[in-house]
Amino acid sequence: MDDNKKILMLAAPLQGVTDNVWRMAQHEVFGGVDAYYAPFMRVEHGDIRRKDLRDVEPERNAGITLIPQILACSPDHSLMMVTALKEMGYNRIDINLGCPFPPIAMHRKGSGMLAYPELIEELFKALGNVEGVKFSVKMRIGWDRNDQWRDILPMMDLISPCHITVHPRTGKQQYKGELDIEQFEAILAASTWPVIYNGGLRTVEDIDQVTHRYPTLPAVMVGSGLAADPGMFAPDAKPEDYRRFHDLLVEGYSNQLNGGEAQLVRHLQDIWQTFMPDIDRKLFKAIRKSRTLDQYLSASAAALASAQ
């Protein structure tokens, strides 16, 4: 990357991956991230999920810049989450208008809300009255049309966002299909607020291409690329660094999860859905077939050794 540019590197929130254990391990071993965005907080059965609150506890995220994120939903539930985060000491909160997964979006939350601008207007009016908090927004270009952002962008004035992070796909596309660069450029031209690019950034070279193409970008947000290679911002990373990163994940989840060995193994297996995607499929299958922690540690050690 061009050292003459001050482009901030932001870690995108990935549900089930970039929690506090992952964040602290990435920061300790590799670094290079200017701010981490927590996976979205949500309200279920009238209460904020306890695991979401635990994930953003300041003591679990010491030494890093963490921006908690709330799932865009009703004003009442959103204000409930904002109030809880303010009480924890947070004065920066991200609003998720990007989650594409049908169980979320079909309930008019996340990117599903983009098809209902009246709901977003109601939400932004409520959040705009909150004192002591600056908001940012992470969004898609639409839910089922690639131009639905046009109805949403003028409403940003209600919350005066720090920035708007744009993933140039619709929610219905999820993570498939072409990135709609034309629509991203239209947003970049139309927005009176800083715009950040997110989507398809798998390598440092990908980031270089985007930042050279759009020199006014204040930052890029990297998700799947950083989950696949947590050392992507550490050019001198060695194989032993990846082993240490993995050891910290095992240690952290061993201390944090309370569902026993089976839960620990399942969670660690899930990490490999995004981590080191180019390993041999036989090694990946051995990880997935592990039923005990010893089996998992043996299989994961073989996978990590293969990447040397």
The predicted-structure confidence for 199-215, as pLDDT tens digits, reads as follows 999 999 999 999 999 99
pLDDT-derived band at 308 (thresholds 50, 70, 90) equals low
Residue 4 pLDDT exceeds 80: no
In the DSSP assignment, the letter for residue 13 is: P
48 beta partners:
43
Region 186-207: what's the mean pLDDT? Answer: 97
Question: Which class for 34: exposed (0-12), middle (13-18), buried (19 or more C-beta within 10 A)?
Answer: middle
pTM: 0.96
- Say which residue the tokens 């009016």 belong to: 125
Position 5 scores a pLDDT of 59
Burial 42-75 (b: 16+ CB within 10 A, else e): bbeeeebeeebbebbeeebbeebebbbbbbbbee
Q: How many CB atoms lie within 10 A of CB 103?
A: 10
